[in-house]
Amino acid sequence: MEALLEGQVSTVRGAVVDVLFGAGLPAIGDALEVLREDAEPLLIEVQAHLSETAVRCIALAATAGLQRGGRVRSRGGPLQVPVGEAVLGRLLDVSGRVGDKGPALPADIPLRPILRSPPPLAAQSVGRELFATGIKVIDLLTPLVQGGKAAMFGGAGVGKTVLVMELIHAMAERYQGLSVFAGVGERSREGHELLQDMRDSGVLDKTVLVYGQMSEPPGARWRVPLTALSIAEYFRDERRQNVLLLMDNVFRFVQAGAEVSGLLGRLPSRVGYQPTLADEVAALQERIVSVAGVAVTAIEAVYVPADDFTDPAVTALAVHMDSMVVLSRAMAAEGMYPAVDPIASSSIMLDPLVVGQAHVDTAIEVRRSIEHYRSLQDVISLLGVEELGVEDRRIVNRARRLQRFLTQPFTVTEAFTGMPGCSVSVDETLAGCQAILAGKCDDWQESSLYMVGTLDQARAKEQQLREEPSA
C-alpha cells in the first residue's frame, strides 16, 4: 500500500485551509485529515495546488480552534463514506458519521468514494416504465419514468418540500423501494420533521437520510449530494436494487459551490456564480443513471431565486432534467395545491411510445383549455365572463373545473388541513379529465371538484352539496 503523505497546516482562513507537504502532493479531490488532540480529526478536501509543496483545501466541518502547525495526514484518495444495509434507517452527515444518536455503524461496513466518474454511455440503459406517483397533475402532465430525473422548480414558500415529502410517502407505499434523501442546506426544523414523519409512518427502515444543513460550512453542503449519490450507486450496482434519490434543495448545492469558489479566490462568473457552475452540476447529474436495468430515479427540489427562471443556476440544472414540475406562486395564492403550473411544466416522457396516445391527447387538450382560459383572463377581469362568446364561455368553465380537479389533498398535510390524503391512479386521472373535457361536469358546482381524488369522490361531493339546501 502506498505510504500516506503527511504535512502541516500553514494557514487557516475560515473554511479555507492551506497545507504544506515535504515531498509529494495529494491529488486534487483527495481527502486529508487534520489531527487534533481534543477532538476528532477535521476532514478537509484538496481543491488546488499552490506550489510544489503546498495545497489549498476546503474544510468539510467547522474550523474553530484549528491552529497553524497542526499535523495533517492524507487519506490516500477521495473521501470515502459508509454504504450498504447498515446505513438504512440512519441519519448521516457528509462524511458518513451518524447523526441520529443511535448505535455506531459496524467497523467492517463497506466504504465508497464520493468522487466517481459516471458509468460509460454504452453501459447506461433508458427506462420506459412509468413511475406513477398518485399525484394527478404530475402523472397527467409531467409523467416520471423509472430511472429519470425530475425537478420541482419554485420560489420560496410555494410547496416544493411538501411535494417532495408526499412523493417519499407515495413511493414507500406504492413501490416498497429504497429511498436516499439528501438534505442540502435545509433548516434543522425541516430535517427533524422529516425524520419524525418517517419514523411515524414506518418507512424509515427503507430510507437513508444524509444531511448537510444550513448551519454547516459550505464544503459540507457542497459535498452532501455526492455522499447520498454514492450510497444510492452502491444499492444500484452491488445490490441490484432500484433506488429513489431525493434532493432538497439542489440550488443550495450550487450556492455552496459558489461560496467555495469565492473562498478559493476564483473570479465570479455570471450573476456572481462560480465559473465552474456547468461542470459541477454535470458531475452530479450525469451520475444519476440506470445501469443494466437497475434504476436510480431522482426527484430534486430546486429553489428559484426571486422567481427568476432565467437564473444561471436554474438553467444549468434544467438542461439535465427529463421532467420539469414548475410551481406557480399565482396558483398557490389561489389555493390551487399542489401549485403546479400546467403550462410551464413539461416532460420529455409525455410521448405516445411511453404513456400511450390517449394519455398524450388528454394532456394536450387539458393544457389547451387552461391556456385558452388564461388568455381570456384580462377580458374576464374587465368585462366579466358573461361578455364572452358561447364557445369561449364553455372552454373557460371547463378549464376552471379542470384546474380544481387537478388539486389534491396530501397525506403529509393531513394534520394541517384535516383532509385525508389520497392517491389517484393514472387511469382514474385520465378518466376524470376526459369526463370534464366532454362536458359531463358542466352543471356541477366548481367546489365539488376542488381537493378531491377521483371523479367518483367529486360526484359524491356534488350530490351532498345539492342535498344540503333542501335538508
Catalytically active residues are: 160, 186-187
Using CA atoms, how far apart are residues 276 and 425, in angstroms rounded to an integer?
42
**How far out from the chain centre does Cα 425 lie?**
23
Instruction: For residue 350, count other CB atoms closer than 10 A to its CB.
Output: 19
Spell out the residues 6+ positions from residue 285 whose beta carbon is closer than 8 angstroms to its own: 149, 298, 317, 320
Query: Is-contact 60 26, C-beta < 8 A?
Result: no
Using CA atoms, how far apart are residues 427 and 455, in angstroms rounded to an integer?
11
Cell numbers found for residue 118: 459516471
Please tell me whether residue 95 adopts helix, strand or coil conformation: coil
- In this structure, which amino acid lies at residue 67? Q
DSSP string for residues in 414-466: HHHH-PPP----HHHHHHHHHHHHTTTTTTS-GGGGTT-SSHHHHHHHHHHHH
195 phi, psi to nearest 5 deg: -60, -45
Please tell me whether residue 398 adopts helix, strand or coil conformation: helix
